[in-house]
């Protein structure tokens, strides 16, 4: 028996392989996301990140049932940074979450498991409370921590005067032959 393996990025809404009973943190069980839940998630989430939704990944093996995953590109956040490319299983994605390709979302994460996902356009109160970013990924995918960049200045590594009588002289172009 031959099993065909097909993996593709599907551009569709988030309702195809979502979970109508997706797990939620205890503070949200039977309740809407509100100020109490926001305060709890901000204080207790090991990672809070802003990510762009790239699409839905579908894995089909022969005639077996499909499993869909959701691809996000993490751009910035607070506390512990997750991987830049984050794949979340459909089990964790609630059906009521309207995901749109290219849309930005605030993700409360525990490891790579979402505790709650909120569209970024509704996250102004959260962003105000969170304040300055702890980290972000640059256009090359490099993790940047602003506090380390901001610490560079007088007396920082690379700004030291040569020791003793040494002179810091760059070689002339003619000396490099």
Task: State residue 152's pLDDT score.
Answer: 53
Contacts for 144 with CB less than 8 Å, ≥ 6 apart: 135, 136, 137, 138
- Asked if 87 contacts 69 with a C-beta cutoff of 8 angstroms, the reply is yes
Comparing C-alpha atoms, which of 109, 114, 73 is closest to residue 90? 114
| pLDDT tens over the chain, length 177 residues | 333 333 333 444 433 468 888 888 887 888 889 999 999 999 999 999 999 999 998 776 766 666 689 999 999 999 999 999 999 998 899 989 999 999 999 999 999 899 999 999 999 999 999 999 999 999 999 999 988 776 555 443 333 333 333 333 334 444 444
Task: State residue 62's pLDDT score.
Answer: 67
Q: Where are the domains of the chain?
A: 5-141
User: pTM of the full predicted structure?
Assistant: 0.73
Distance CA 88, CA 81 (A): 15
- Asked if 94 contacts 29 with a C-beta cutoff of 8 angstroms, the reply is no
Architecture of domain 5-141 in this structure: Beta Barrel (2.40)
């Amino acid at each position: 028996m031959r099993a065909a393996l097909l993996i593709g990025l599907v551009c569709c809404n988030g309702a195809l392989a979502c979970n109508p009973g997706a797990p939620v943190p205890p503070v949200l069980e039977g309740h809407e996301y509100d100020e109490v839940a926001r305060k709890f998630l901000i204080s207790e989430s090991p990672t809070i990140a802003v990510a762009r939704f790239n699409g839905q990944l579908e894995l089909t093996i022969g005639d077996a049932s499909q499993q869909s995953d959701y691809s996000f590109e993490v751009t910035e956040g607070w506390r512990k940074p997750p991987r830049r490319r984050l794949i979340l299983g459909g089990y964790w994605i609630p059906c009521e979450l309207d995901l749109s390709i290219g849309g930005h979302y605030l993700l409360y994460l525990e490891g790579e498991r979402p505790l709650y996902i909120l569209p970024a356009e509704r996250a102004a109160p959260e962003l105000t409370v969170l304040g300055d970013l702890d980290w972000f990924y640059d256009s090359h995918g490099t993790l940047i921590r602003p506090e380390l960049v901001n610490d560079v200045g007088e007396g920082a590594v690379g700004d030291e005067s040569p020791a003793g009588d040494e002179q810091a002289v760059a070689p002339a172009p003619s000396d490099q032959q």
